[in-house]
Amino acid sequence: QIQLVQSGPEVKKPGESVKISCKASGYTFTQAGMQWLKQAQGKSLKWMGWINTNTGKTTYAADFTGRFVFSLETSASTAYLQITNLKNEDMATYFCARWGFAYWGQGTLVTVSS
């Protein structure tokens, strides 16, 4: 069955970086793009963008340019989200979701605290 398994919770200080993984299984990784979404505590979902898992081409929403990077390790069927120079407002749960949104990772909580 199709599964997306994300890496565990992270606690970081402002200014640090974090890299979240999303490992896919149960399907051919390169046949469906991977989306990334942010959900702050008690808030709705924000679409961050997506990565074409076949070509590596990335598309970022306007609010997620500059410090946010999507990448792939195709041989490991894994997508990554890296956030650099973390700010307090980056504190949230981050989800990966396969193109079409029928399959989601379990979410990764990123806590930013000095």
Q: Smallest distance from the beta carbon of 23 to another protein, in angstroms? A: 15
Looking at the Cβ atoms of 8 and 75, the one nearer to another protein is 8
Burial label, 60 (beta-carbon count in 10 A; 0-12, 13-18, 19+): middle
Looking at the Cβ atoms of 77 and 93, the one nearer to another protein is 93
Looking at the Cβ atoms of 18 and 48, the one nearer to another protein is 48
Looking at the Cβ atoms of 17 and 59, the one nearer to another protein is 59
Q: Smallest distance from the beta carbon of 48 to another protein, in angstroms? A: 9
Q: Smallest distance from the beta carbon of 64 to another protein, in angstroms? A: 9
Q: Smallest distance from the beta carbon of 13 to another protein, in angstroms? A: 25
Binding stretches for another protein (CB under 8 A): 35, 44-47, 49, 59, 61-62, 95, 97, 100-102, 104-107
| Rounded distance between C-alpha atoms, residue 90 and residue 41, angstroms | 11
Residue 107 exposure: Cα atoms within 13 Å on the Cβ side: 12
**Long-range pairs, 70-77, Cβ under 8 A, ≥24:** 70/34, 70/36, 74/29, 74/30, 76/23, 77/23, 77/24, 77/25, 77/29
